[in-house]
Structures are given as C-alpha cells and as structure tokens.
C-alpha cells in the first residue's frame, strides 16, 4: 500500500462507529464503550512511544504492540468480561480497516478472543413476582400508585427492555387487542401480546391517573413522572428497586429482572424457544437459549432445597 492511514484520525473512527450502528445494529451504550476502548488504546500507544505529535500510523502498529496493550489492561485488574470487550473492539476496528482496504493487514489476527464468563441473569420466583406487582397499591398512594402498578404489570407481561418500556407512547398500546408495539434494538419493531390484567391496569392508569400527572403538558408519552414528563430509565429503576427492597429481594433485583423472569417463566411453562425469542426481540436464538440454562439451574436449586437427601446424594455422584 502506498500511503499510511493515521490511527488518530477522528473521521476514520467515526466511520467505523457508523458502520457498527448501521451494519451491526449496535446500541448507543455499546458504541460509547467501543469509542472509549479505542481511545484507551490510542492513549497507551502515545505514552508507550512518547509520541505526543500523534504520528503513529496504522501500518506501523504491530502484533507485538497489541499483545503489550493486552498485558497492560490485564495488569489494571479489569474483569474478564471487560477485557473481552476491549479485545473485541480492537479486533472489529482493525478488521474493518483491512476489509475496507485501509490497511494492508490486520495486526490483531493472531490475538485470541477472551471467552466471556457464562453468567445467568437473576429471576424472581412467581410468589415474589406477585408481591412486587401488588406492592404499589400497598405501599404507594394516588396517581403514582396506579402508574407504578401499571408499568410493573406491563413489564412482566411483555418482557420489554426498560428502555423500550419508558419510550412507549399512548398510540403503542392497543387496549382492544391487548397488545403493545415497541421499537427495539436496531430499530426493529415488534408486537407483543399482553394479558388482560396488565391491559386493565394500563386502562385504569390512562383514565384515572395519567390526566392528573401530565397536568398542562402536551405529551404522548405513556408513562410520565410526577412532573408530567416522560418517565426515565433511572426513574423506573429507582421505583422498581424500592418495591423489590420493601418485599425483601432488593439485593438480587436488577433493571431487567422482570424481563428475565418473564422469559424464564414462559419457558418453564412450556413455551417454544422460538416464540420467546420473538417476544423478547432477540436477533439470535442463541441469546434466548441462555434462559434454558437458567431454568436447568433453577430446577437443580429447587431440587436441592426440596429433597431431604439432596445434598448427600449430589456429593456422591
């Protein structure tokens, strides 16, 4: 190749980010993380080479320098999952440059990816779900109680991501058909059926609470805060966490606990994996299969807790 591409060219990195958004449908949070990872690598090269003029060029970045960088981030004590993402960022970036003809070779080709640790999302037992869903009526008052009652019921009935929940507008709820329309990752739209109790809770909220919460605001947001503005992800998290804590399971509660529980309970009840994949809006069924592993672990734990000889038996096999 007759010319060299400056790794520090912001336009080049922006082109890569656009590629990841458009072609790979990566989320905003992932893109932010990728940009942070690339900046960290650039900063490392500057310090390592004392190159304050930013003259390091793509054709001069070697496999040895990548290995040195990976040793560096390992020494910083990052979690395995974080190191895996940083490696994935750089491999994606330099593979992109090579594929686009912007570099003669991919210097990360010999760098092995780190296997991310297999982790199971937390779920609530059905008894705990019931306590959480009824908690707003018992521990909140007025319009806020009806709103929280409705959004928690919808979250568990639909399995929507928190961002999808709070971005819903009134037009996205079909009371008559009992369904909700949402736009998920990659701007993909899906229709999710919602059971009657959740629909009724939304109908009551729309008629009895929302008009008083929005006051003089003109908004199409389905769920609003006490100031009449769209409920935020942070607002939902604080509300849900509060009710989980009140009922004694706050420590194992996360923003997507209701989504995880929705998926797990459907599979536990015999729903086909493909159907659950569609409801969750997963692009790949391998992501949905995580919940089959979760159910296997759940069954094992229930067995160990319930069988009088479980501990003794398991130790001998």
| Residues acting as catalytic residues | 161, 185, 256, 259, 282, 291
User: Torsion angle of alpha carbons 98, 100, 101, 102, nearest 10°?
Assistant: -80
Beta bridge partners of 173: 180
**Which residues are CB-neighbours of 60 under 8 A, at least 6 positions away?**
4
Nearest CA-CA partner of 42 in 108, 90, 112, 77 = 90
Query: What are the helix (H) ranges across the chain?
Result: 10-22, 28-49, 63-75, 80-99, 126-139, 142-158, 162-166, 196-208, 210-214, 233-246, 257-268, 273-280, 285-288, 290-306, 310-316
CB 259 within 8 A of CB 161: yes
d(CA 96, CA 92): 6
d(CA 269, CA 26): 32
């Amino acid at each position: 190749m007759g010319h060299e591409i400056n790794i520090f060219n912001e336009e080049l990195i922006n082109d890569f980010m656009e590629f990841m958004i458009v072609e790979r449908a990566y989320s905003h949070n992932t893109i932010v993380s990728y940009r942070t990872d690339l900046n960290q690598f650039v900063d490392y090269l500057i310090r390592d080479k004392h190159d304050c003029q930013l003259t390091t060029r793509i054709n001069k970045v070697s496999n040895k320098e990548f290995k040195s960088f990976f040793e560096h981030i390992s020494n910083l004590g990052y979690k395995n999952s974080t190191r895996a993402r940083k490696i994935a960022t750089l491999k994606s970036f330099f593979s992109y440059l090579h594929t686009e003809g912007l570099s003669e070779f991919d210097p990360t080709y010999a760098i092995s990816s780190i296997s991310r640790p297999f982790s199971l999302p937390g779920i609530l037992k059905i008894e705990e779900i019931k306590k959480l869903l009824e908690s707003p009526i018992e521990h909140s008052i007025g319009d806020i109680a009806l709103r929280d009652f409705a959004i928690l019921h919808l979250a568990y009935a639909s399995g929507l991501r928190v961002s999808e929940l709070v971005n819903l507008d009134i037009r996205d709820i079909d009371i008559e058909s009992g369904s909700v329309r949402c736009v998920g990752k990659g701007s993909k739209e899906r229709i999710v059926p919602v059971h009657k109790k959740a629909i009724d809770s939304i109908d009551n909220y729309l008629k009895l609470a929302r008009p008083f919460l929005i006051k003089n605001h003109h908004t199409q947001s389905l769920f609003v805060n006490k100031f009449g503005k769209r409920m935020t992800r942070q607002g939902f998290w604080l509300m849900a966490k509060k009710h989980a804590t009140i009922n004694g399971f706050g420590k194992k509660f996360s923003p997507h606990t209701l989504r995880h529980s929705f998926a797990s309970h459907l599979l536990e009840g015999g729903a086909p994996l493909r159907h659950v994949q569609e409801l969750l809006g997963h692009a790949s069924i391998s992501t949905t299969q995580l919940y089959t592993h979760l159910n296997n672990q759940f069954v094992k734990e229930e067995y160990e807790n319930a069988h009088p000889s479980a501990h003794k038996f398991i130790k001998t096999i």
